Structure 1
Amino acid sequence: MSWYLYITRCADGSLYTGITKNLVRRIREHNTDNKLGAKSLRYRRPVALAYYESFATQSEAARREKSIKRWTRKYKLKLIEGFILKNSC
């Protein structure tokens, strides 16, 4: 099974980056009132999936997550914009 790096766009316009094995489940966890979602997102709901990449291993996904978390918001938005354009056709 693949690992995914994902970026969500929060209701307040902020971006959140994480990794998971199940994108649908993770987004649902972030959007529901349970203890499984990230604490930092509890007051920024709803969140929507804005970007994702697939990796063969957790370590590859974590490495990419660490890299992207160092980026500025501007670069993250460019990544998301390119992803939307690429996948809109």
Structure 2
Amino acid sequence: MITLYVLKGGTGKRYVGITNDLARRLKEHRSNRSKGSQVIGEFVVLHTEKYPDYKAARKREAFLKSGKGREWLNKLESQSEPA
């Protein structure tokens, strides 16, 4: 299974990525061994989705990085914020 994940950094920036080992990938982000983690700094996992293969995960990743995908993430984020 391939995991698509969305991180939100302390600066408010989001990072969308895919991996076959989420625990390892998050560890890499936390140790700043990832270019993306250097941009967002400290982060929380905002969202995850599972896919059977890379092709499906890449398609969803591309969508989430598009204008409509960012709108969807904004809506998701606003629904998860405490009132």
TM-score, normalised via structure 2 length: 0.80
Relative to 1, partners in 2 of residues 1:81 and 1:51: Cα closer, same or farther, differing over 3 Å? farther
Mapping of residues 57-68 of structure 1, within 5 Å: 57-68=53-64
Relative to 1, partners in 2 of residues 1:76 and 1:28: Cα closer, same or farther, differing over 3 Å? same
Which of 67, 76, 80 is equivalent to 1:79?
Answer: 76
Segments of structure 1 that go 5 or more residues without pairing to the other structure are none
Segments of structure 2 that go 5 or more residues without pairing to the other structure are none
Where does residue 14 of structure 2 map in the other structure? 15
Mapping of residues 25-64 of structure 1, within 5 Å: 25-34=24-33, 37=34, 39-64=35-60
Relative to 1, partners in 2 of residues 1:52 and 1:80: Cα closer, same or farther, differing over 3 Å? farther
Higher helix share: 2
Q: Give the total of aligned pairs.
A: 80
Aligned-partner residue type, residue 59 of structure 2 = R
**Residue deviations 1:51-80 (CA, integer Å, cap 9, x gap):** 010000011000100011003644212234
Q: CA RMSD in A?
A: 2.1
Deviation at 1:26, TM superposition (A): 0.9
Q: Percent identity?
A: 26
Q: Distance in 2 between matches of 1:41 and 1:12?
A: 11
What secondary structure does 1:12 align onto?
A: coil
